[in-house]
A and B are shown apart, each in its own frame.
Chain A
Amino acid sequence: MLDAGRLSAVELMRALIARRHSVDGRVKAFNSYDEADALAQARASDARRGSGKARGPLDGIPVGIKDVIAVAGQPLTASSRMLENFVSPYDATVIRRLRDAGAVCWGRLNLDEFAMGSSTENSAFGATSNPWDLERVPGGSSGGSAAAVSAGEAVAALGSDTGGSIRQPAALCGVVGLKPTYGLVSRYGLIAFASSLDQIGPFARTVEDAAILLGAIAGHDPLDSTSFKAEIPDYRRGLSERKGPWKLGIAREYFADGLDPEVGAAVQGAIEFYRKRGCEIREISLPHTKYAVGAYYIIATAECSSNLARYDGIRYGHRSTAATDAVDIYFKSRSEGFGEEVKRRIILGTYVLSSGYHDAYYLRAQKVRTLIRRDFLEAYKQVDAIITPTTPTPAFRKGEKSADPLAMYLNDIYTIGVNLAGLPGISVPCGFTGGGLPIGLQIIGQPFREAELLSMAHAYEAAHGWHARHPNP
């Protein structure tokens, strides 16, 4: 529409600003926003398009940014008191790439503090609501990103995924969310949580939009030594070129106890769709699945205890005014600045790394991680991808799990293995419960084969049209 001149980038931006004004009092997806800055970016886009210098399909498209990714001159809070007044001195690499593609960086989206959580209730600035049912959580940790796209406050968004933090909220909010292969997207400028697991990825209403956004942010970056020199295909063009049929695996461990029957039925429906399309459906086994949550909560908390040691109240972030000496600054600033879940995870991570326990916990978890990864690589000798539910249940009620961390952690049971194994995974809407809550289908692909993954998701989406339904929060 922008290219055809039927809509200007400024008109689009104004519409989103108006939408944010009308719904975000209830949804609370945004931590902050800068309307003047967004309109200036949109005007620059219109000027480029007007002079025939548009930079492609993202030029003028407002993309919301999870408040854990640095945007120069804008707040960067990680939804934490610790960083309440922090302003980014530079752009993350993904932001630089979005700007190069002409996208409008729009707003700072809410999350569980430091991306630790599955409900966006752990934000220091208040919980985000699910646009489909305001009494329920949007998922997390990228709950603000999922809710903003679902509620029409942003065309697309960036999130980050350490154990399911893109796919799980995408499923619970009825949008598309993609966690790329470990190493495909630069993390330079992403606030680190668990460095061997974190990846940045797109949220969008459609698979095609997610493909466009991924194409813009993917690629090697010398500023992130864990980023790979992988060739980046044209993901969008791949959607129409690749049609399968594929060999798809169904892991019996992902359809066990605890799976909500309506979620199970919707995913079975998706499996039948692929079967009818000529795909071969094979039952496979990922035998170490039941250990994934345990291994994850050792590895992720160990890494977080190390990464968050930098918040010492000295160079940036909250500094306690009650502290009496330099060491007391550490104790008091961290105690005042961090919320409960962050403290809990730092303490668990410190414990599993501490002298006498390191081998029993951390080293053992890393070995189990090897076995979990091996399960997937064995499965990929037989199948092209694996189909699972994204979550065991649809969106749960606010407060339902917040007093029970273990119950909250177990909600990530289907997404965590993907991070431990470094694989790409996508969640695509696959129906609604009788009560009108969205259900997500997860497709887990092979390393650096996002193009195939997107094509599989696109084939399903094109034949169903769940993405045409929108909530009215």
Chain B
Amino acid sequence: MPSSQEFDIDQVANLARIELTGEEKARFSAQLADVLAHIAKLQEVDVGGIEPTAHAFPMDNVWAADKAGPSLPADAALQNAPAQRDGMFVVPKVVE
């Protein structure tokens, strides 16, 4: 397991698409170092030959019938949009 010193908050915050202030960076780094030190205890466990558990109960793919049913109407889907026009979400221009 990597050491908590390798934790680069700028890189991770960028991946998470979160902007942090300098003060937040310093505080989070210290707090997360504590958490990562606790998490490092998992290194002690012998996990050789152990399968990972993604869900508590093994489940296969769940299929639904390929049949159209009622879905959320466009106006309901748009009702919480920060900006909308003509049945569409409005965003800043992405392509020049």
Instruction: Assess whether B82 is in contact with A405, with CB atoms less than 8 Å apart.
Output: no
What residues of chain A lie closer than 8 Å to B92, measured between beta carbons? 323-326, 329
Mark contacts of A158-191 with chain B using CB atoms, 8 A cut-off: 1 yes-contact digit, 0 otherwise.
0000000000000000000000001100000000
Point out the residues of chain A lying under 8 angstroms from B85, CB to CB. Answer: none
CA distance A420 to B56 in the complex (A): 7
B interface SS class: loop
Closest Cβ of chain B: how far from A450's Cβ, in Å? Answer: 15
Task: Give the contacting residue for A326; candidates B39, B43, B94; CB below 8 A.
Answer: B94
B7, B34, B59, B91 pick with most chain A CB within 10 angstroms: B91
Cβ of B20 < 8 Å from any Cβ of A?
Answer: yes
Please name all residues of chain A whose beta carbon is closer than 8 Å to the beta carbon of B56 when the two chains form the complex.
182, 196, 373, 420-423
Contact status A360-B2, CB under 8 Å: yes
Residue B64 at the chain A interface, CB threshold 8 Å: yes
The answer to whether A314 has its CB under 8 Å from any CB of chain B is: yes
Against A, the Cβ 8 Å flags (1 = close, 0 = not) of B53-96 are 11111010010100000001000110111110000010110100
A288-B45, A367-B50, A368-B47 given; A334·B82 CB < 8 A: no
- B76 interface neighbour in A90, A297, A319, A351, Cβ under 8 Å: A90
Question: Does B15 contact A348, Cβ atoms closer than 8 Å?
Answer: no
Which residues of A74-90 have CB atoms within 8 Å of chain B's CB atoms?
85-87, 89-90
Do the beta carbons of B17 and A334 come within 8 Å of each other? yes
User: Which one of A120-128, A221-229, A390-398, A434-442 is at the B interface?
Assistant: A221-229
In the complex, how many angstroms separate the beta carbon of A287 from the nearest chain B beta carbon?
A: 10
Is the Cβ of B52 less than 8 Å from the Cβ of A354?
no
Known: A89-B79, A335-B18, A422-B55. A371 touches B24 (CB 8 A): no
Provide the bound-state CA to CA distance between A226 and B59, in Å. Answer: 8
Any B CB within 8 A of the CB of A57: no
**Given A89-B76, A329-B92, A422-B56, A351-B82 contact (CB < 8 Å):** no
Contact of A373 among B32, B34, B53, B59 (CB under 8 A): B53
Which A residues between 347 and 385 are near B, CB-CB below 8 angstroms? 347-348, 350-351, 354, 356-357, 360-361, 363-371, 373
Q: Does the CB pair A409–B35 fall under 8 Å?
A: yes
Q: Is the CB of A370 within 8 A of B12?
A: no
The answer to the question of A332 belonging to the interface, with a C-beta cut-off of 8 Å to chain B, is yes
**How many inter-chain residue pairs (CB < 8 Å) link A and B?**
167
User: Is there an interface contact between B2 and A405, defined as CB atoms closer than 8 Å?
Assistant: no
Contact A196 B2, CB 8 Å, known A370-B50, A371-B50: no
Chain B: interface residue total (CB-CB under 8 A)? 50
Closest A-chain residue to B31, C-beta based? A405
Known: A344-B28, A344-B31. A370 touches B38 (CB 8 A): no
**Which A residues lie within 8 Å of B52 (CB)?**
363, 366-367, 369-370
Which one of A89, A323, A360, A366 contacts B53 once the chains associate, using CB atoms below 8 Å? A366
A366 to B50, CA, bound (A): 9
> In B1-44, which residues have CB < 8 Å from any A CB?
1-2, 7, 9, 12-13, 15-20, 24, 28, 31-32, 34-35, 38-44
Say which residue of A294, A317, A335, A366 sits within 8 Å of B54 (CB atoms).
A366
Interface residue? A432 (CB, 8 A): no
**Interface residues, chain B, with chain A CB atoms under 8 Å away:** 1-2, 7, 9, 12-13, 15-20, 24, 28, 31-32, 34-35, 38-45, 47, 50-57, 59, 62, 64, 72, 76-77, 79-83, 89, 91-92, 94
Can you pick out 20 interface pairs between chain A and chain B where the beta carbons lie within 8 Å of each other? A87-B80, A90-B76, A291-B44, A315-B77, A319-B82, A319-B83, A323-B92, A330-B17, A332-B19, A334-B16, A343-B28, A346-B18, A348-B32, A350-B15, A364-B42, A370-B51, A370-B52, A405-B31, A422-B57, A447-B57
* CB-based closest 4 A-B pairs: A422-B56, A366-B52, A319-B82, A316-B80
Which residues of A does B touch, CB under 8 Å?
85-87, 89-90, 182-183, 196, 222, 225-226, 228, 288, 290-291, 293-295, 297-298, 305, 309, 312-319, 323-327, 329-332, 334-335, 338, 340, 343-344, 346-348, 350-351, 354, 356-357, 360-361, 363-371, 373, 404-406, 409, 420-423, 447
